[in-house]
């Protein structure tokens, strides 16, 4: 299924990703005019400047809430307020922190309650059913969870952005329908408005001469560099998060506030998540990454759903990709790349890596590790490399960084451990031989004193101090193409299937079509598990 899909549509899929919103209500002339979701309809509020994700934004103070782009309620920690006071040297009130990392819902679960006073509760339950049918996110009635959403009646429609912590509200006025609820849940999940993408000017023209000046901030772009995930792939005219071209912010509502670059308008999607919306959520709520063919995929470990985030990895030949909070690191050909794990955008961090055996995860300070030819290198966050130990690592079979060690399966079939905390030349401990035909090495959790190695058709659990190895589960791993681990689970591609494997070797299929996998990695701090 996966392969067929990709043969036909992968490039196209990468070109189609994001889209729109609005709920029809009034018409003027022959055009439908849409009411944009608004937190406080009819209230203009006090225009203010603040900082969101590193960029100055305009928002409105309405009834003490910071309202951004009509229906997004910013929390104080998301918003660093900029004052106009001359006494504020950097224009920022100290202590008003800037959220540099988006808050996602943990374990893909969103606890919620519905205010008994909310009319037409089916709007909420239908919207939730839609979200659950399209994404791995699951909504559960709140019992004692500390972080949860309450759907409550209001004059307008609005939501906080992401998981705020504690109780947060999605406000639904009488004019808010199921589609609106889907949109507002989108904000709570972490989606922003499509027209606010940093690259939107390449796709749409905003007609400020037909927009009420007091509402210009509704059409602001925002900076995504420090909070990736929203500028996912291409602009999506079908996103439920995109405003309608005809809307209530227009001076002349028979004319659009936005058009495509060719001057035409679009029919807004106000009823369901678009394919692009779904892929964006997949990307935000993923922490397993697979390089397959020329694609880099973000994979949700709950159900195996995936989103292609880049398609430029043709010829990828290194075995490993590394991870940190926001980035993947990979060597392809000559170059070490740092890849934004949500947007897929990449940046060179140096060349001269021809023939290197990938780059490992980050341990022992903010350091990645790679073997190239005879040398083991430490790589810092700027991509600078430093030779470590004077051993000859020529033709190592596998490398793994874990705790304050780098584990190497050498070409003479010995597993060795480099103790990174020892002075140069580092202490290298021999953990035993017999490791021929090693296909993959991984660790299942950051605190573990064991690593997992697939040799031949067997999965071994190996003590990192003694080298003691035991076979785990059935010897069914002959066709292994890659392995990564997180949160007590291993993820193994074998026989073209992506398996979730527990620490006893029990496995569960997360879907097929992965034959040809070149590399796998996890982001340990994605904050989703
Ligand atoms: Zn909105």
All residues at 6 or more sequence positions from 516 whose CB lies less than 8 Å from its CB, including other chains: 292, 293, 481, 496
Whether 102 and 74 have beta carbons less than 8 Å apart is answered as: no
Which of 65-79, 85-99, 121-135, 191-205 is the least confident region? 85-99
Give 220 Cα–ligand 1 centroid separation in angstroms: 13
Query: Using one digit for the tens of pLDDT, what is the confidence trace for 168-180?
Result: 999 999 989 999 9
Give 111 Cα–ligand 1 centroid separation in angstroms: 21
Closest by alpha carbon to 168, among 182, 137, 189, 194?
Answer: 189
Give 408 Cα–ligand 1 centroid separation in angstroms: 50
Residue 133 CA from chain centroid, whole number: 20
Q: Rounded to whole angstroms, how far apart are CA atoms 450 and 454?
A: 13
Give 185 Cα–ligand 1 centroid separation in angstroms: 9
Q: Rounded to whole angstroms, how far apart are CA atoms 164 and 53?
A: 15
Give 194 Cα–ligand 1 centroid separation in angstroms: 9
Phi, psi of 422, deg, nearest 5: -90, 155
Residue 520 CA from chain centroid, whole number: 16
Q: Classify 426 as helix, strand or coil.
A: coil
Closest by alpha carbon to 220, among 201, 244, 245?
Answer: 201
Q: Rounded to whole angstroms, how far apart are CA atoms 352 and 342?
A: 26
Phi, psi of 268, deg, nearest 5: -70, 145
All residues at 6 or more sequence positions from 479 whose CB lies less than 8 Å from its CB, including other chains: 494, 495, 496
All residues at 6 or more sequence positions from 120 whose CB lies less than 8 Å from its CB, including other chains: none
Judged by phi (left if over 0) then psi (alpha if -120 to 50, else beta), residue 489 lies in beta
Q: Which residue has the tokens 């808050």?
A: 103
Which residues, listed in sequence order, are joined to residue 441 by a DSSP beta bridge?
453
Residue 107 CA from chain centroid, whole number: 14
Give 376 Cα–ligand 1 centroid separation in angstroms: 49
| pLDDT score, position 164 | 85
Give 193 Cα–ligand 1 centroid separation in angstroms: 6
Give 445 Cα–ligand 1 centroid separation in angstroms: 38
Give 451 Cα–ligand 1 centroid separation in angstroms: 45
| pLDDT score, position 318 | 61
On average, the pLDDT of the chain sits at 81
| pLDDT score, position 498 | 97
Which residues, listed in sequence order, are joined to residue 205 by a DSSP beta bridge?
259
Closest by alpha carbon to 40, among 158, 150, 177, 179?
Answer: 158
* For range 132-149, the mean pLDDT: 96
Which residues, listed in sequence order, are joined to residue 385 by a DSSP beta bridge?
379
Give 30 Cα–ligand 1 centroid separation in angstroms: 25
Query: Using one digit for the tens of pLDDT, what is the confidence trace for 215-265?
Result: 888 887 765 433 444 466 778 899 999 999 998 889 999 999 999 999 999
Give 493 Cα–ligand 1 centroid separation in angstroms: 39
Tokens of 373: 């030819």
Query: Using one digit for the tens of pLDDT, what is the confidence trace for 478-504?
Result: 999 999 999 899 999 999 999 999 999
Give 245 Cα–ligand 1 centroid separation in angstroms: 14
Q: How far is residue 443 from each of residues 317, 326, 494, 511, measured CA to CA in Å?
A: 22, 20, 17, 22
Homologous superfamily (CATH) for 9-276: Collagenase (Catalytic Domain) (3.40.390.10)
Which segments within 311-426 are labelled E, that is strand?
A: 321-323, 327-332, 335-340, 346-348, 368-372, 375-379, 385-388, 398-402, 405-409, 415-419
Three-state helix/strand/coil letters over 144-211: CCCCEEEEEECCCEEEECCCCCCEEEEEECCCCCHHHHHHHHHHHHCCCCHHHCCCHHHCEEECHHHE
Query: Using one digit for the tens of pLDDT, what is the confidence trace for 39-73?
Result: 777 777 777 776 655 556 677 887 777 777 778 87
Q: Rounded to whole angstroms, how far apart are CA atoms 263 and 204?
A: 9
Q: Rounded to whole angstroms, how far apart are CA atoms 387 and 380?
A: 12
Give 91 Cα–ligand 1 centroid separation in angstroms: 28
Tokens of 401: 């960084």
Query: Using one digit for the tens of pLDDT, what is the confidence trace for 393-423?
Result: 877 888 999 999 999 999 899 999 999 999 9
Give 157 Cα–ligand 1 centroid separation in angstroms: 8
Tokens of 525: 């701090």
Q: Determine the angle formed by the axes of helices 122-134 and 178-189, rounding to 10 degrees.
A: 60
User: Cis (ω within 30 of 0) for the bond into 75?
Assistant: no
Give 239 Cα–ligand 1 centroid separation in angstroms: 11
Whether 80 and 97 have beta carbons less than 8 Å apart is answered as: yes
User: Cis (ω within 30 of 0) for the bond into 425?
Assistant: yes
Which of 22-26, 233-237, 399-403, 441-445 is the least confident region? 22-26
Closest by alpha carbon to 471, among 457, 461, 486?
Answer: 461
Which string of b and e fits 423-453 if b means at least 16 CB within 10 Å?
A: eeebeebebeeebeebbbbbbbeeebebbbb
Q: How far is residue 144 from each of residues 112, 121, 148, 167, measured CA to CA in Å?
A: 11, 22, 9, 11
Percentage of the chain modeled with pLDDT above 90: 45
Give 311 Cα–ligand 1 centroid separation in angstroms: 30
Give 218 Cα–ligand 1 centroid separation in angstroms: 10
Start-to-end C-alpha separation, the chain: 27
| pLDDT score, position 525 | 65
List the domain boundaries for the chain.
9-276, 286-522
Give 238 Cα–ligand 1 centroid separation in angstroms: 14
DSSP-assigned letters across all residues of 251-287: SSTTS-SEEETTS-------SS--HHHHHHHHHHT--
Q: How far is residue 303 from each of residues 134, 182, 219, 273, 493, measured CA to CA in Å?
A: 11, 21, 35, 18, 15
Give 9 Cα–ligand 1 centroid separation in angstroms: 30
Q: Which of 17-21, 122-126, 315-319, 521-525 has the highest mean pLDDT?
A: 122-126
Q: Rounded to whole angstroms, how far apart are CA atoms 24 and 164?
A: 30
Residue 87 clears pLDDT 90, i.e. is over it: no
Yes or no: is domain 286-522 CATH 3.40.50.620?
Answer: no
Residue 133 clears pLDDT 80, i.e. is over it: yes
């Amino acid at each position: 299924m996966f392969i067929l899909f990709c043969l036909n549509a992968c490039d196209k899929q990468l070109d189609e990703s994001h889209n729109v919103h609005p709920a029809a209500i009034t018409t003027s002339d022959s055009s439908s005019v849409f009411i944009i979701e608004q937190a406080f309809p009819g209230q203009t509020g006090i225009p203010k400047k603040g900082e969101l994700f590193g960029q100055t934004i305009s928002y409105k103070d309405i009834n003490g809430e910071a309202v951004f782009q009509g229906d997004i309620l910013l929390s104080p920690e998301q918003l660093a307020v900029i004052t106009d006071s001359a006494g504020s040297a950097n224009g920022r009130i100290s202590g008003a922190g800037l959220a540099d990392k988006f808050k996602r819902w943990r374990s893909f679960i969103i606890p919620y309650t519905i205010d008994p006073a909310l009319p037409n509760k089916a709007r909420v339950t239908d919207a939730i059913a839609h979200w659950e049918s399209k994404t791995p996110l699951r909504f559960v009635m709140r019992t004692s969870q500390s972080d949860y959403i309450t759907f409550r009646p209001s004059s307008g429609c609005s939501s906080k952005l992401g998981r705020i912590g504690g109780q947060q509200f999605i406000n639904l006025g009488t004019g808010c329908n199921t589609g609106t609820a889907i949109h507002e849940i989108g904000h709570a999940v972490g989606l922003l408005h499509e027209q606010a993408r940093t690259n939107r000017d390449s796709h749409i023209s905003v007609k400020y001469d037909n927009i009420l000046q007091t509402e210009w901030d509704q059409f602001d772009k925002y900076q995504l560099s420090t909070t990736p995930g929203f500028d996912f792939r291409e602009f999506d005219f079908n996103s439920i998060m995109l405003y309608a071209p005809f809307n209530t912010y227009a001076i002349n509502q028979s004319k659009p506030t936005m058009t495509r670059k060719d001057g035409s308008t679009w029919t807004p999607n106000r009823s369901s998540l678009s394919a692009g919306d779904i892929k964006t959520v997949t990307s935000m709520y993923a922490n397993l990454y697979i390089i397959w063919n020329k694609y880099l995929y973000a994979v949700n470990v709950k159900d195996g759903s995936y989103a292609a985030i880049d398609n430029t990895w043709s010829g990828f030949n290194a075995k490993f990709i590394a991870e940190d909070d926001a980035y993947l690191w990979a060597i392809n050909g000559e170059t070490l790349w740092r890849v934004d794990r949500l947007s897929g955008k990449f940046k060179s961090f140096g060349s001269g890596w021809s023939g290197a055996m990938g780059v490992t995860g980050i341990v022992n300070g903010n350091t990645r590790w790679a073997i190239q030819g005879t040398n083991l290198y430490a790589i810092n966050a700027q991509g600078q490399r430093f030779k470590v130990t004077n051993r000859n690592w020529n033709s190592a079979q596998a490398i793994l960084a874990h705790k304050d060690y780098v584990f190497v399966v050498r070409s003479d079939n010995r597993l060795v451990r480099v103790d990174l905390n020892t002075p140069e030349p580092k202490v290298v401990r021999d953990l035993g031989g017999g490791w021929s035909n090693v296909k993959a090495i991984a660790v299942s959790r950051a605190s573990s004193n064991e690593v997992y190695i697939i040799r031949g058709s067997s999965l071994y659990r190996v003590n990192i101090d003694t080298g003691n190895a035991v076979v785990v589960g059935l010897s069914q791993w002959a066709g292994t193409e890659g392995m990564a681990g997180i949160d007590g689970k291993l993820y193994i591609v074998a026989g073209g299937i992506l398996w979730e494997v527990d620490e006893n070797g029990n496995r569960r299929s997360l879907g097929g079509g992965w034959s040809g996998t070149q590399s796998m990695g996890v982001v340990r701090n994605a904050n989703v598990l």
